[in-house]
Amino acid sequence: MPTFQYKAYSKHPEVNAYSETLLDELVATYQRKPNEKRQKTLRKWMKVAVAGLYLAGCYKRNTVQITRSRGLYYGKSQRSPMHHPELLKIFEWLIEAGYLNKVKEAHQADGVHWVPATYELSRKWIDVCCLVSPVTAKNEAIIRSITRNPAAPAVELRQDGKRLPLKSHPEKSIWNARVKAYNNRLTKHEFRLNRELLAPVLLSITRIFSDGSYSKGGRYYSNFQQFKSQLRLFTTIDGEPVAEIDYKSLHPSLLYQRAGMTESKEDAYTIAGYPRKLVKKAFNILINRKKPAPATQSLVYFLNKDREVREAAQQPINAAYCEALEAAIRNHHRDIEHFFCSGVGLELQHHDSQLCSHILDYFLIKTDSIVLTVHDSFICKQSELPILAEAIKYAENTVARAMNTVFREPLLEAEVIKASEGFEQLLDNAFGSSISSNITEEDAINSYLHQELPEIGDIYVDVDTDGDVTGTE
């Protein structure tokens, strides 16, 4: 079920016209006409409402989840500046006026997380806003126009799931400029996922620091990261196929570097008797946990939260299982086990966010092209793999100098769905022996080919104990 995109905004003439029509009707309901300043504010948030709801309709859906908890729009508990009180009032009016019909109440999923109520775009809404045009060119022109709201913060500071006021920092202006330049660059290119056009707002990034510190976290987050890794490979940029270049076992590698040790050639997450996916998740839990060992209860809780991990285990993930798993991981990584249960994970995320920053900068400054980021993996046109190779080398050198450490030759992996002519040679020329490749046969994942755009939410992230993205709206 798609969730309302709070960062969506558009200046398209059609969106402006729909917004004015709705605004006139809303203002007419006021006993005292709002002054010019108030109307200007309402106009802005009406455009946000129309743009966000357009995305719910244009991808062949007419339903959307909307958060209406008053606490998320007011005071210290306000989720973000995009959860503006005037937007909540607009939602309430759209429901009261019959433009949105509630079809499902808010509820708890798995007895843990609250899922917002679901609303259907009514016949009245479609009649007024003409949200799905039979003219494809018109639909796509509006989709392309739905960009990130300029008022959305480029950088956020979080602690315990709460947004904090930004502290001063000498590089804060650089961080803001980078994110704004990147989000603007997105509007210059066309992105399709499994043939469907993506609105720029879905790929726009926000840099989020954690633990109330600019030295913790700092990764870049976007809605695009919610797509399954296999599905992301069906992305095209300006009509060209893409490749995804992924750092292999980056955080274990960084820990061995910190310990002054040479990393074993064995895969960091391959341990006999345990699925690799489960070991990787457990390793992240161990490096992000701040409490002393053992981490049994954290492992039981967070491993069971992940459906794919539960399925991979093929047996109950109970205390005995997790005790044995932790012992196996510690034995496999004896040289760095002193980092476990120390909370070092957020520091490692800061390290990889610095690498990401310099890779983004390289594309922004040296090219007129774009690279998409999923934390420690990067997606670009296959024809631009040499540029990405240069960007990664530049980032590694820059971060190594800043941290006064020896340059680390990263181990990388390339994955594509369909390799273009000469791909392997291009990859070898760009990366040499530092990379392995995985070409997934298209018919091996044929189930993805006929999917519509997957369900995504307006992302609201925090780093939980397991170090993964949690909490989407």
* Cβ count near 250 (within 10 Å): 20
DSSP β-ladder status, 100-104 and 117-121:
antiparallel
User: What is the Cβ-side half-sphere exposure of residue 31, based on CA atoms within 13 angstroms?
Assistant: 0
The dotted CATH code for 8-152 is 1.10.10
180-183 contacts at long range (C-beta below 8 A, 24 or more positions apart)? 180/154, 181/364, 182/360, 182/364, 182/370, 183/147, 183/148, 183/154
Q: How far apart are CA 447 and CA 242, in angstroms?
A: 19
Structure tokens at 42: 């309402």
- pLDDT at position 467, please? 42
Answer yes or no: are the C-beta atoms of 9 and 144 closer than 8 Å. no
Q: Where are the domains of the chain?
A: 8-152, 160-268+333-473, 269-332
Q: pLDDT digits over 8-52, tens only? A: 999 999 899 999 999 999 999 998 989 999 999 999 999 999 999
Q: What does the mean pLDDT of the chain come to?
A: 88
Q: What is the pLDDT along the chain (473 residues), one digit of tens a residue?
A: 578 999 999 999 989 999 999 999 999 999 898 999 999 999 999 999 999 998 887 665 688 999 999 989 998 788 888 999 999 999 999 999 999 999 999 887 765 667 899 999 998 988 887 655 556 777 889 999 999 998 899 999 999 878 899 999 999 999 999 999 999 999 999 999 888 899 999 999 999 999 999 999 999 999 999 888 888 999 999 999 999 999 999 999 999 988 888 777 778 999 999 999 999 999 999 999 999 999 999 999 999 988 889 999 999 999 999 999 999 999 999 999 999 999 999 999 999 999 999 999 999 999 999 999 999 999 999 999 999 999 999 999 999 999 887 777 888 999 998 888 888 899 999 998 777 777 665 554 455 444 555 556 665 554 444 444 333 33
**Mind listing the pLDDT tens digit for each residue in 437-459?**
776 655 544 554 445 555 566 65
pLDDT at 36: 92
CB 449 within 8 A of CB 194: yes
d(CA 142, CA 119): 22
The helix (H) or strand (E) run that includes residue 159 is: strand 155-159
* pTM greater than 0.85 (yes/no): yes
